[in-house]
A and B are shown apart, each in its own frame.
Chain A
């Protein structure tokens, strides 16, 4: 009875699966002849990666490719990304676009895929070493940091700064580059006494709020807040507002998500460096399509661009307003 029952239930489950598959992949019959491209993101749910997938889907259709996608269960989930690479290679993809969760740990799996003749392009985050992939399509994160550093310096107009940096996490390149870029743009070195508090937020709004609350306990006179992304910035804003400090503290950020860009428009965040995940994915898929047709592989680093978005431009720092920002934001 047990076996029969579970068999029946499984058939039901498979029917559910069948429906999922039917909805997900159009052109099932032609799937063996259409070249495939794989997209592996850090997570399924982050709006940044949702936008990236959207760009990949659009570009795949335009270039006559079938898109397969996969993601880790959480940011940092290396094992799921390895499994996805293996399964995609087994499925016969021409190329894989990957946003590596662990820049070092993913390298051996990428090497195996490349040895099997698959073009591998890193999107958004470089692998360590960078040449472990054929190419990298990403924002120049150092430059993204520099732009908001320069902006903050100009906006402070010579006032003495007490800076809090709400960072990502130790050992993650993207966070390190943005942080370093900010300091460079502001014209200070790591360890400068004007940086009075540094906390990790994992780019999370709730953790950003906690971090800012703790920073304010430590140094109540903070007047500049650098944040790794806009969720962290909005968390910081909430903490500052609770202390009645939201008007006299300058918050700068990186990312350019739509929620974040709206927060720039409403004045909660002073400025943000906007990046373009849709473009990363579109260009990546295009490169795989070219490879499928001509066998020519892209190589090296392609800068997908970054723009400073603010409605209160500071002199000497090039920026676009939030109208432009909202027209080009992601999420």
Chain B
């Protein structure tokens, strides 16, 4: 008994997800009390649909932030991937499967280039991905000729279709998003690769000395993140039903917000991908709940900003206590 009492608070400190999870639950209780429509199955399904794109981007962002990097180009890469998939399938008449594969490949390729620039030329990730943001943004607008692509084949919109759970319609995309989070939680938590990623983020020098091939690992992380952005592109396309060159313009920052709200340290080596899911849900719950209450969207922006600062403050304070 005494042992359990000692370990529970300890676990709360060492598990960076506990704080965000409590925050998410409190927010749900709050909105549940304030509006009738909030605590319903269809509404929760809606919130998951609304956060799945940024949430998936944030999986890639989490990987990169765990290595003490950052990715400002993910929303732009996703938008380009979405345009490639839809344009190839609709305008170029390629079989939808090939168009989809091409989109995933192009996103992975941009991730690979980011990783190579970070490792081979030792450029700071912030600079590499800032440059890449502009390059990919421009490519998207050039390639799409600023035109939205419509009339998509069923393969590209499949993830936006729904199946029934009780009274609630759930999209296949929501399911895929949750499976992705579980997959990456497993990869980071229970494989040697995951441990290497944490080690790299904690101290690249120590990681190198223990025999981890850090450059290769880093390139792998950026490439994998790019691939995940490709999946986000498919989710986006299936959610909106169109290929949209304007998409994702603030999603880079929104994905960082989800990571930070989820308790992952921006300095690398500390955090959990499940926390990122919780972080993305916090943003979605606030946006949905405040809208249901009739609060204008500018307040949603205000509150998200306050929450981000609070989350980092909590991270810093708990580190100080741990010392």
Contacts and interface: CB of A to CB of B under 8 A. Distances in A.
A2 B240 CA distance: 38
Contacts of A108: 240-242
Given A1-B318, A77-B249, A104 B19 contact: no
A330 to B, nearest CB: 19
Interface stretch (B10-18, B90-98, B183-191): B10-18
Contacts of A25: 293-295
B16 A2 contact: yes
A102 B244 contact: yes
A9 B310 contact: yes
A74 interface: yes
A110 to B, nearest CB: 11
Contacts of B27: 10, 14
B225 interface: no
Contacts of A83: 50, 287
A69 B300 CA distance: 12
Nearest to A103: B148
Contacts of A157: none
Interface string B293-323: 1111111011100110011011001100100
Interface string A56-88: 000000000011111101101111101110111
A74 B75 CA distance: 15
A7 B19 contact: yes
B253 to A, nearest CB: 10
Contacts of A79: 53, 236, 240, 247-248
Nearest to A40: B297
A16 B42 contact: no
Interface string B231-275: 000001001111010111110000000000000000000000000
Contacts of B9: 1
B242 A105 contact: yes
Interface stretch (B29-37, B196-204, B209-217): B29-37
Given A9-B310, A70-B291, A2 B46 contact: no
A310 B37 CA distance: 51
B20 interface: yes
A81 to B, nearest CB: 10
A36 B293 CA distance: 11
A86 B50 CA distance: 9
B146 interface: yes
Contacts of A1: 9, 12-13, 318, 321
Nearest to B150: A104
B13 to A, nearest CB: 5
Contact of A21 (B36, B43, B293, B317): B293
A300 interface: no
Contacts, number: 168
Contacts of B37: 90-92
B240 A9 contact: no
B292 interface: yes
B interface, size bucket? 35 or more
B292 A78 contact: no
Name, among B145, B244, B307, B318, the residue most crowded by chain A CB atoms within 10 Å (CB to CB): B244
Contacts of B314: 2, 5-6, 9
A101 B150 CA distance: 16
B19 A17 contact: no
Nearest to B317: A5
Interface string A9-36: 1110110110011001100000110001
Nearest to B303: A17
Contact of A90 (B23, B43, B244): B43
A13 B27 CA distance: 10
B46 A171 contact: no
A2 B288 contact: no
Contacts of B293: 21, 25
B123 interface: no
B268 to A, nearest CB: 19
A246 interface: no
B246 A13 contact: no
Contact of B145 (A3, A11, A74, A170): A170
B161 interface: no
Contacts of B7: none
A70 B292 CA distance: 11
26 contacts: A2-B12, A2-B314, A3-B12, A3-B22, A6-B19, A10-B27, A10-B310, A17-B286, A20-B295, A21-B290, A21-B295, A67-B294, A74-B249, A76-B246, A79-B247, A83-B287, A84-B297, A87-B292, A90-B46, A90-B288, A90-B292, A91-B35, A102-B242, A105-B244, A105-B246, A107-B150
Given A17-B286, A91-B292, A104-B242, 11 more contacts: A10-B22, A20-B295, A25-B294, A32-B36, A70-B291, A77-B246, A78-B244, A79-B248, A90-B37, A92-B37, A105-B150
Interface of A: 1-3, 5-7, 9-11, 13-14, 16-17, 20-21, 24-25, 31-32, 36, 44, 66-71, 73-74, 76-80, 82-84, 86-88, 90-92, 101-102, 104-105, 107-109, 169-171
